[in-house]
Amino acid sequence: MDEEWDLVVIGGGPAGSAAALQARRLRPDARILLLDRADFPRDKACGDGIAAHARDELAHLGLDGIIDDYRPTPRLAVISPGGARVEAAVARPNHVVPRTVFDARLIDAARAHDIEVRRHRVRTLTTRGGLPLIDDTITARTVIAADGANSTVRRLLGLPPSPDRHTAIAVRGYADVPADDDTQLIAMQKDGWPAYAWSFPIGDGTANVGFGMLLPRLRATGLPGRQVLHGRLAELLPHLPARDLRAHHLPLSPGRPRPGAGRVLLAGDAAGLINPLTGEGIYYALVSGRLAGQAAATAGTDPLTAYRHALRATLGRHLRTTDALHLAAQSPAFIDAAVTTAAHRPEVFDLLVEVGLGAGTVPPPLAWAVARRWLTAALPLPGRRHHTP
């Protein structure tokens, strides 16, 4: 039997749940259907790191406190590809919540707000009477596709997938750590750069550990992906043997995301929204999902234009910043300079966290401070003393 909905959301990760919840907040009477190919709780390969900025987004959606039973992680340590190290308290603590728990809580919240959640794998998307038609049976005034990194809907819309140079691949697992370990560790690797391992303690005597690198660099090794990812993880974190290893692609933001076509809006990983410097995607998923839900609920016949404008206003400058930094960061010496600068200047550390985990931008004086250190290290002039204050 054919069905008609005001909004159909495809994908029940953070982007999809945020979209459905925001549409519900703005349109209490709307008929909203959320489809996911999986039953919840379901696992998702992820570092499980939920930045303070993502927590702000949860509050926007009326979900304050939803992760407060997890201990905040107050400290962050970063080791650069060349071995520079900075470790400090973050201005606002992050959380680490396994995605089996986090995503299921978001889905529960959606159900509690009268959003119909149904297990259904979407295979086709056409149009009928000018409206999107899903699998020949479900029509919607607006569709929000939040179906993740390998988005079926993005492909069905004819939009290209994330290009290889903007795609990373990462493996995550879980390891035992001391229960009082309260420091998120990011250990970068020069070999195959950009590449890094992480350990994100959950607070219960385990940590999410993992390793990721750019897809072209992985291919350049000529070795099976599994061998490289698992091997590098074991090499970089030898004291943290990992279990439950699981890998996935990360479509890194190219600076200007593709927000969809017609009455179909893309959010989260489906839009290619992952921070290219850190692999953070949950904050972007929640923001873009919220903005897509808002456009679907309020923009009448042209939700795509409203969504595009809202995305640009909220993340535009930040995404252009991370795109430029991603280019500079192809040189490991640039990251060495940034980490060394952050080790000397707490305000720089805080700013880098804003750029890596939130919607921060880089003020020109900071860009200059890092560039000067980078150039000084890269171009030591004959007869000049090498100076790294």
Listed in sequence order, the DSSP H helices in the chain are: 14-26, 52-60, 99-112, 152-156, 215-220, 225-236, 282-298, 303-328, 332-344, 346-357, 364-378
Number of residues that bind ligand FAD (CB under 6 A): 38
For residue 121, state whether it binds ligand FAD (rule: CB under 6 A). Answer: yes
Minimum distance, C-beta of residue 270 to ligand FAD, in the bound complex (Å): 6
Minimum distance, C-beta of residue 195 to ligand FAD, in the bound complex (Å): 13
Q: How far, CA to CA in Å, does 161 sit from each of 44, 147, 194, 305, 383?
A: 20, 13, 21, 21, 50
Pick between residue 193 and residue 283 the one whose CB is nearest to ligand FAD: 283
Q: Which two tokens stand for residue 263?
A: 């009455």
Candidate ranges 24-32, 173-181, 272-280, 293-301; the one touching ligand FAD (CB under 6 A) = 272-280
For residue 37, state whether it binds ligand FAD (rule: CB under 6 A). Answer: yes
For residue 44, state whether it binds ligand FAD (rule: CB under 6 A). Answer: yes
With beta carbons less than 8 A apart as the criterion, state whether 155 and 275 touch.
no
Neighbours of 383 (CB within 10 A): 5
Minimum distance, C-beta of residue 280 to ligand FAD, in the bound complex (Å): 4
For residue 360, state whether it binds ligand FAD (rule: CB under 6 A). Answer: no
For residue 48, state whether it binds ligand FAD (rule: CB under 6 A). Answer: yes
For residue 215, state whether it binds ligand FAD (rule: CB under 6 A). Answer: no
For residue 354, state whether it binds ligand FAD (rule: CB under 6 A). Answer: no
For residue 45, state whether it binds ligand FAD (rule: CB under 6 A). Answer: yes
CA dihedral sign of residues 358, 364, 369, 370:
positive
For residue 148, state whether it binds ligand FAD (rule: CB under 6 A). Answer: yes
For residue 274, state whether it binds ligand FAD (rule: CB under 6 A). Answer: yes
For ligand FAD, which residue of 58, 105, 144, 280 counts as binding (CB under 6 A)? Answer: 280
Q: Which two tokens stand for residue 117?
A: 């959640």
Minimum distance, C-beta of residue 376 to ligand FAD, in the bound complex (Å): 33
Q: Is 151 helix (H, G, I), strand (E, B) or coil?
A: coil
For residue 49, state whether it binds ligand FAD (rule: CB under 6 A). Answer: yes
Q: Which residue has tokens 């200059």?
A: 368
Candidate ranges 180-188, 236-244, 276-284, 332-340; the one touching ligand FAD (CB under 6 A) = 276-284
Q: Which residue from 38, 35, 263 is spatially nearest to 135, judged by alpha carbons?
A: 35
Q: In whole angstroms, give the CA distance from residue 262 to residue 154.
A: 12
For residue 81, state whether it binds ligand FAD (rule: CB under 6 A). Answer: no
- Element housing 139 (H / E): strand 138-145
For residue 281, state whether it binds ligand FAD (rule: CB under 6 A). Answer: yes
Minimum distance, C-beta of residue 265 to ligand FAD, in the bound complex (Å): 12
Q: Which two tokens stand for residue 30?
A: 């709307």
For residue 152, state whether it binds ligand FAD (rule: CB under 6 A). Answer: yes
Q: In whole angstroms, give the CA distance from residue 68 to residue 287.
A: 20
Candidate ranges 124-132, 157-165, 221-229, 264-272; the one touching ligand FAD (CB under 6 A) = 264-272
The percent helix, strand, coil of the chain (3-state, each to 5) is: 40, 25, 35
For residue 15, state whether it binds ligand FAD (rule: CB under 6 A). Answer: yes
φ, ψ for residue 175 (rounded to 5)? Answer: -140, 160
Q: Which residue has tokens 């420091």?
A: 183
Residues 6+ apart with CB under 8 A from 11: 35, 36, 145, 146, 147, 148, 268, 270
Candidate ranges 35-43, 62-70, 184-192, 254-262; the one touching ligand FAD (CB under 6 A) = 35-43
For residue 12, state whether it binds ligand FAD (rule: CB under 6 A). Answer: yes
For ligand FAD, which residue of 7, 20, 21, 250 counts as binding (CB under 6 A)? Answer: 250
Candidate ranges 130-138, 262-270, 293-301, 341-349; the one touching ligand FAD (CB under 6 A) = 262-270
Q: In whole angstroms, give the CA distance from residue 289 to residue 22.
A: 8
Neighbours of 114 (CB within 10 A): 12
Give the nearest residue (CB) to ligand FAD: 281
Minimum distance, C-beta of residue 302 to ligand FAD, in the bound complex (Å): 23
Nearest 5°: the CA angle 150, 154, 158 is 125
DSSP for residue 71: P
Pick between residue 12 and residue 203 the one whose CB is nearest to ligand FAD: 12
Q: In whole angstroms, give the CA distance from residue 50 to residue 96.
A: 6
Question: Which residues here bind ligand FAD, judged by CB under 6 A?
Answer: 10-16, 35-38, 44-49, 121-122, 146-148, 152, 170, 172, 210, 248, 250, 268-270, 274, 279-283, 285
